[in-house]
Structure 1
């Protein structure tokens, strides 16, 4: 047992070191020699892609699909047409130099993008009806001219639409973001939920259906307005003619004495005052030019504290006994874990910040989902036996390919955070600590095994004497959007006297932050 404990301690240390040095341990297996290959494919009107592909779509008279990647990876990019849909996928590629696909097609009806894929148009896409589905952490940027546009943007994906559409029906959920301010429509129907955000333009009618922390921005009478209150609202905006991108306000102001002139063009402001430096303000930056031609650059101060909670995070989880050791209590040795397979996933979809001191020290809260996967090292069939837990595999004596316990939580954090640079979230060291409360919203066991040569999967929902709440100590540290986190539970995984005394922990890294 002592050797087993030493082994698990080393595994635990190795996992922490791997997370902290993820950039340094990356491998590059691509040859670095980029080549292009044309694929001979039948006609299609739909595109589906995931992974980390970068795709450009153009409209033309014929079908043409070109793949660009390392010369030793050409056979690992799959382009297959099934029915009317082109499926683009990758197989076993590690750190390729590029994963680009160029597509020319006469008509596009459906676009389904997931993972970390990116897609943009080369020229505009014209058609009658177009459906766009963006999920995961995908990015979509399209120039369109269609009659009916249906869009679904979810997860942490971002979509930008430009051009024209008579009708736009959109669903935005999770932490997704839709920018359709430069898509000129007659009517737009936007359903925004979770922590989603949408920006739209419509001439005749807008229908907004908001829930959760969803927010909708829209143009009305030359001004950008915002709705964040849950509910359904239909109204007619005052947007005659073209969209906001074609209207740039300009004004010139001068004092009666003629010693001062201020010129405003859009978000550009030029201030000329006799005896003082000329000031040019563009967005959040300011230039001062004195009479000698000296230039002084200034950046406007950040107006609010912005913490580091929202995002998509990945890590490992496990548990320790009351002595903070990995040894399982007597009678519960079957709960030993394969820690490298015990994956923790977090989607922190909503964040709210409160400044406490000088926009450098503040309080962050929010909401997030968490999935804890406890992968057992042994052949375990976990069952409740009265007020206890037992391993019931002795009845079947099967050799399981996978045996795990999955626990799902809805989390509410209270995080005190300090930042070194209040002017920039991207160029600042941050460290925070606090308490996270989790409400168990589901739990189940999953077994994978072979039965007469066929793969079987059994999923059995149940509470398994798991505590309905958890209370974690939380530490988060990082630079910019790089964020490492560690959680340790103050209460046990299982209820008192209904299972072993085990305290869960989690270590991970943010893959996507917002």
Structure 2
């Protein structure tokens, strides 16, 4: 009898010790919280961020391909036209330096690069970058100018005019151009083994004008589109550049030669932000 009582006593004494051997585990809003044996101590697993750490490293490849790159920026131009000259007056009788003033906040540039490839040339520091894509430029005019499709039988006819119709107001007036473009650049990477790069690229691009139109929206006519080449140059040669800072890439282009074949000396340029899906997804932390 005494032995049984003594055994029961030791079992009751050991019960609190056994209950503290295994820590408590709770799940709160999908997060596992572990309570240690020590009083008032709570340990939670470290939560991962959306993107990988800034000091993450990579093993660069000799050949890299990116798909579906999108540019979003602004279109504008440098106007060196002599508006008093015979060429400008033949293209647009009565034109002055205010006719083709654009709204810089509404003149947009959007580019779609189907493919962009990088070929290593020197220790992943210097690489050749080339691709294929489409460039879209919208020039929103402040003045009610209109482009008129060129009649084929007339040599150097007037193309541009100022609409002075009484009572007519313009809600939108723009020239839209589309180019099929091939860029070629040398890329210099100052951090070739880092996931978040510091890169600078520069080169040239050649674009072919495949579409151009003048779109207007007025109070009495509504929406109208005039499609023609409007004596724009069919080819565009541009200096181009790209700057990559971690997850953000900036781009720019400048065509030193006028976009018009005659009359006007207007050199277009663009700049904006480049969205590179392959590069962005490679920096996202896996769950």
TM-score (norm 2): 0.66
CA offsets, 1:73-111, max 9 Å, x none? xxxxxxxxxxxxxxxxxxxxxxxxxxxxxxxxxxxxxxx
Q: Which residue, out of 132, 138, 152, partners 1:367?
A: 132
CA offsets, 1:448-489, max 9 Å, x none? 1122xxx81101111011100100011111213311111110
Would the alpha carbon gap of residues 384 and 462 (structure 1) be closer, same or farther in structure 2, given more than 3 Å must change? Answer: closer
Q: Which residue, out of 202, 206, 209, partners 1:440?
A: 209
- Dislocated runs of 4+, deviation >6 Å: none
The answer for the alignment partner of 2:99 in structure 1 is 334
Partners of 1:305 and 1:359 within 8 A in 2: no
Aligned residues: 207
The answer for the alignment partner of 1:502 in structure 2 is 266
- Partners of 2:206 and 2:276 in 1: CA distance: 22
- Partners of 1:417 and 1:510 in 2: CA distance: 15
Matched residue SS, 2:164? helix
The answer for the alignment partner of 2:3 in structure 1 is none
The answer for the alignment partner of 1:461 in structure 2 is 227
Instruction: List gaps (5 residues or longer) in structure 2.
Output: 1-55, 85-94, 279-287
- Partners of 2:230 and 2:59 in 1: CA distance: 52
Partners of 1:316 and 1:342 within 8 A in 2: yes
Partners of 1:307 and 1:417 within 8 A in 2: no
Equivalent residues in 2 for 1:27-176 (5 A)?
A: none
Would the alpha carbon gap of residues 428 and 340 (structure 1) be closer, same or farther in structure 2, given more than 3 Å must change? Answer: same
Partners of 2:65 and 2:115 within 8 A in 1: no
- Partners of 1:362 and 1:373 in 2: CA distance: 32
Would the alpha carbon gap of residues 358 and 407 (structure 1) be closer, same or farther in structure 2, given more than 3 Å must change? Answer: same
The answer for the alignment partner of 1:412 in structure 2 is 182
Equivalent residues in 2 for 1:302-317 (5 A)?
A: 302-304=60-62, 306=64, 311-317=69-75
- Partners of 2:191 and 2:66 in 1: CA distance: 13
Q: Which residue, out of 160, 172, 176, partners 1:402?
A: 172
The answer for the alignment partner of 1:20 in structure 2 is none
Would the alpha carbon gap of residues 508 and 309 (structure 1) be closer, same or farther in structure 2, given more than 3 Å must change? Answer: farther
Matched residue SS, 2:61? coil
- Partners of 1:486 and 1:367 in 2: CA distance: 16
Q: Which residue, out of 263, 275, 279, partners 1:511?
A: 275
The answer for the alignment partner of 2:259 in structure 1 is 493
- Partners of 2:58 and 2:172 in 1: CA distance: 55
* C-alpha displacement of 1:336: 1.1
More strand by share: 1
Q: Which residue, out of 196, 200, 208, partners 1:431?
A: 200
* Bigger Rg over Cα: 2
- Partners of 1:512 and 1:421 in 2: CA distance: 18
* C-alpha displacement of 1:328: 7.6
Partners of 1:328 and 1:335 within 8 A in 2: no
Return the structure number with greater relative CO, CA threshold 8 A, min gap 6: 2
Partners of 1:470 and 1:490 within 8 A in 2: no
- Partners of 1:476 and 1:492 in 2: CA distance: 23
